[in-house]
Structure formats: structure tokens, C-alpha cells
Amino acid sequence: MEHYLCMNHQFLLDSISVHLRKVRRAKRLTLRLITPAQVNVTIPYFVSFKQAHDFVLTKTDWIYKTANKLSQSPKKQFTQDNGLAAHKDDAQQLIASIIEKYTSTYPYAHKKVFVKNLKTRWGSCSSAQNLNFNYRLVFLPERLAEYVVVHELCHLKEMNHGPNFWKLVTQKFPDYKQLRKQLREYSFYCL
């Protein structure tokens, strides 16, 4: 794996161009895969470029895996329209397998499971007991995807984020606080 830091705050990770950009309003480092060959990193002003560079290097497995999935998509352009179409089936299969895996711990009835192009959420649970998930779950590490699905399953029993809700979550994810923090590091532009 070759990488080098340039003066213009870009570097190459093998053939993937990583663009580092400081943003005044940013509160945390975020990494976004724009295309299979480009990653954008948003950096808060209190974080150095060196720290951001090191952060990216800790995410190389995810970057390569996600870039590979994007490059295998039927169209090279990853847009709002074809992104959902290209990955909806994979997302539905992933979500169904996670629900099945955790059904003995969380045996709560739900009506329908929808895979959507959600702009700001990984998942949600409606009062009608429908589960909604972002198709981009397929790009998350497995444990994070499982956490998102279980989080929404727990809302079938507790429609809030009170103590009883978190007790349900901790049955399988006692490290949920760390997982929530990690989840914030993975986001995508909706082009």
C-alpha cells in the first residue's frame, strides 16, 4: 500500500485520491467515498492534517471494500437514482439476514421492511411498525450494519431512546456508544 502526503492536502492511497478539507462548522472527522477513485475527508479546524491523514489510514480496509463494491456496480457513476437501484437487493438480503440472526433476542413483530435512499439516517422505525433502512448499509462494516438493524428492532418495543430502550440494545451491543461514534464516521454524499 503506497501513500504520500502532498502540500495541497491530498494524497494517494494506491489509486484512490484522498482529498482533505478543513471546514469551520465541522465537529468531527468524516470520510465520504465519492467515487471508487475519490475519497473526501472533512476536517474540523481543531484537527491537524496529520491527524486526518492517520485517521484515513485506519479506515483503509473499509475504503478498499467500499470502492470495490462501487466499481462493480452496473454504472460507474454513483448517483442518487442508480445507487439505490444497484444496491437495493443486496441491502434487503443483508437486512433480512440480520433480522433473522437476532430474532431470538428481539422477537418483536414488524410489518414491512423498506430499503430507501435516506438522506440523513441509517434507519428508522415508524409507529405503524414498519422498518426503514438506508441502502448504504451494505457499505458499512458488518458489526455497524448489525447495530443499525438491531437499534431499529428495539424501537419496535420501545419507541424512544429512554433507559429501557438502551437496556434492550445492550443485550447484544454493550458497546453501543462506541458503535454510534464509529457510525458517524461513515457517510456518503447523495449526488
pLDDT tens track for 120-142: 789 999 999 999 999 888 888 89
Quote the cell numbers at residue 168. 434492550
Contacts of 148 (CB under 8 A, 6+ apart): 122, 123, 133, 137, 140, 183
Q: Do 88 and 173 reside in the same domain of the chain?
A: yes
> Which among 180, 144, 186 is positioned nearest to 165, based on CA atoms?
180
Q: Do 39 and 97 reside in the same domain of the chain?
A: no
Look at residue 44 and tell me if it is in a domain: yes
Query: Rounded mean pLDDT of 24-31?
Result: 82
Q: What is the total count of domains within the chain?
A: 2
Q: Determine which of 14-18, 44-48, 127-131 has the lowest per-residue pLDDT on average.
A: 14-18
Its domain, for residue 55, covers 3-71
> Distance (Å, rounded) from C-alpha 23 to C-alpha 7?
18
Strand order in the sheet with 16-22: 3-5, 10-13, 16-22, 38-43, 30-35
Tell me which residue has cell 504520500: 4
Q: Determine which of 13-27, 98-112, 121-135 has the lowest per-residue pLDDT on average.
A: 13-27
Q: Determine which of 119-123, 129-133, 142-146, 159-163 has the lowest per-residue pLDDT on average.
A: 119-123
Quote the cell numbers at residue 1. 500500500
- Domain stops at, among 71, 91, 113: 71
Residues 95/103, Cβ–Cβ less than 8 Å: no
Residues 67/37, Cβ–Cβ less than 8 Å: yes
Three-state DSSP state, 39: strand
Look at residue 190 and tell me if it is in a domain: no
**Chain center to CA of 153:** 18
